[in-house]
Amino acid sequence: MTQTNPKIAFIGAGSVVFTQGLLADLFVFPELKGAHIALHDIDAERLATAHGAARQIADRLTGQGGGPRITAHAERKAALEGADFVINIVQVGMRESTRVDFDVPAGHGVRQTIGDTLGIGGIFRALRTFPLLKALGEDIAEVCPDAWLLNYTNPMAMNVQYLTQATGLTRVVGLCHSVYWTVRDLADLLGVPHEEVVYRAAGVNHQAWMLRLEHDGTDLYPRLDSLIARNPELRRRVRVDMYRRLGYYPTETSEHSAEYVPWYLHHDSEIERLRLPVGAYLGIVDENIAAYERTRDTLADGSALDVEGTMEYAPQLIHSVVTGTPRTIYGNVPNHGLIDNLPATGTVEVPCLVDALGVQPTRVGSLPAQCAALNRGYLGMNELVVRAALEDDPRSIRQAAMADPATAAALPVERIWDLCDDMVRAHADLLQPSLRTLLGH
């Protein structure tokens, strides 16, 4: 880019805690302290809270009376006008829809822990997000066609696939911190400085694999094997159990990982053995709301916010594109030959070089066969959900649920179709009209 004061639009800025962390990361970079931060949310109170928090963070990190320009917009297109970067952090339906995602499946005997990526929760979170993504994409094409759209909203892989196929946008990348924190956690566990670990991961979002993990030229996997063998408590983690059986460490938490396979949540003994917190995300949602309320109240009484940087990829990406500073991050992008043994139409998570030319994904080649087998099932289910929306086909919703490993492990097909009907009823107002049809079994 030629300018050093980019315009960065936050869509869903009312996700105040996450917005604060991103801003704290952005303002660490001197070259970004003059940026125009445009905040948008449909909730007026949350937008006002985000605006106040952003102004306080900017004043603290860039100096009173100077620094970035910060504007708040109730109308999305005004926030997007002329933007260089668009950060999407919208959660359609908020707590009420998330509770539906758990309560209705639970009534059918389907257990979930997070419910935001695959499974019934992931399917319907995607379907109620797609209309927003289509409208957002149309606005970007109209008022900021050269902007980079940086998506944080889950389900990541489905959303990126839908965005690229439904809108025609090409400057789209999904960002997630799971690879970064997996490396940090493994480094801490193994007692090596994380900044000295050499690693490579690839796969799909929340189910990528640590293909290379080294320190001082030495493979760290044998040290991890020894530690696991000596520590029975480590063996009571889903991701460790998967690593022991598949040979490559997965890049998302045990709570997430348990939902993407048929082996754990359907069995009481496995829930106990692996200490799986069924319904855990509902508590996280409640804590997020409490954190928002604390921020709102802190601003109202004039107190200082306690905000720390989050080491997220979006600020690093923006800095690299603006300044030409080369970095490697992990991005979620259309496959297009990056991983040979995964579907070309799917969204994959791979290392990406970022510099003044933008985001340049790295070709990985083939994944280990056992890892690719799981990822193909994940992407096949994603394909059906995206097809449901693109082709106005309600049957594809049911077929996606049938293809989902955890749902298929829990229910026979007639019950899966009944569950989908109940979910359509519960979320009908948020779905595109063509997908509100009830099909029975």
CATH of the domain at 32: 3.40.50.720
Tens of pLDDT, residue by residue over 159-195, are: 999 999 999 899 999 999 999 999 999 999 999 999 9
| Pair (354, 305) in one structural domain | no
Residues 318 and 333 both lie in one domain: no
Same domain, 312 and 346: no
CA distances 351 to 86, 153, 204, 327, 415, Å, are 21, 19, 12, 10, 40
State whether 88 and 129 are in the same domain: yes
Q: Each residue of 92-105: pLDDT tens digit?
A: 988 899 999 999 99
Per the listing, tokens 């709570």 go with: 255
Q: How confident is the model at residue 245 (pLDDT cuts 50, 70, 90)?
A: very high
Q: What is the mean pLDDT of residues 297-323?
A: 89
DSSP 8-class letter at 364: -
Distance CA 193, CA 220 (A): 12
Q: Is the pLDDT of residue 345 over 50?
A: yes
Give yes or no: residues 60 and 97 share one domain: yes
Are 146 and 356 in contact by the 8 Å Cβ rule? The answer is: no
Residue 38: is its pLDDT beyond 60? yes
The answer to whether residue 312 sits within a structural domain is yes
Please tell me whether the overall predicted TM-score, pTM, comes out greater than 0.85 for this model.
yes
Residue 394 domain flag:
no
Cα(195)–Cα(221) distance, integer angstroms: 17
| Residue whose C-alpha is closest to residue 153's, from 311, 18, 321 | 18
Residue 283 falls within a domain, yes or no? no
Q: Sorting pLDDT into bands at 50, 70 and 90, what band is 2?
A: very low
Q: Residue 391 pLDDT > 80, yes or no?
A: yes
Are 136 and 167 in a shared domain?
yes
122 occurs within a structural domain: yes
Last residue of a domain, one of 309, 338, 361: 361
Residue 233 in domain:
no
Give the DSSP H or E segment for 180. Answer: helix 178-190
**51-60, 255-264, 393-402, 404-413: least confident range:** 51-60
Residues 332 and 319 in one domain: no
**Contacts with 367 (C-beta within 8 Å, 6 or more apart), sequence order:** 202, 203, 209, 211, 339, 341, 342, 375
Q: Is there a domain that residue 388 lies in?
A: no
**DSSP letters for 182-243:** HHHHHHHHHTS-GGGEEEEEEEETTEEEEEEEEETTEESHHHHHHHHHH-TTGGGSHHHHHH
Check if the beta carbon of residue 372 is closer than 8 Å to that of residue 341. yes
Model confidence at 262, pLDDT cuts 50, 70, 90, reads very high
Among 41, 12, 34, 37, which residue's Cα sits nearest to residue 23? 37
Are 310 and 354 within one domain? no
| Residue 65, pLDDT score | 57
Residue 269 lies in a domain: no
The total domain count for the chain is 2
Same domain, 305 and 346: no
Distance CA 357, CA 315 (A): 16
- The pLDDT tens digits for 48-94 are 999 999 999 888 888 755 689 999 999 999 999 999 999 999 999 88
Same domain, 306 and 357: no
Structure tokens at 290: 């409490």
Confidence of residue 3 (pLDDT cuts 50, 70, 90): low
Domain enclosing residue 310, as ranges: 7-178+301-323
51 is catalytic: no
| pLDDT band, residue 298 (cuts 50/70/90) | confident
Distance in angstroms (rounded) separating the CA atoms of residues 83 and 37: 9
Rounded average pLDDT over 218-244: 96
Last residue of some domain: 339, 361, 383?
A: 361
Check 177, 266, 427, 441 and give the catalytic one. Answer: 177
- In order, the DSSP letters of 275-332 are T--TTHHHHHHHHHHHHHHHHHHHHHTTPPP-------HHHHHHHHHHH---EEEEEE
Strands 197-204 and 172-175, how do they pair? Answer: unpaired
Residue 228 lies in a domain: no
Query: CA nearest 418: which of 120, 60, 87?
Result: 120
Q: How far apart are CA 336 and CA 347, in angstroms?
A: 9
Dihedral over Cα of 21, 23, 26, 27: its sign: negative
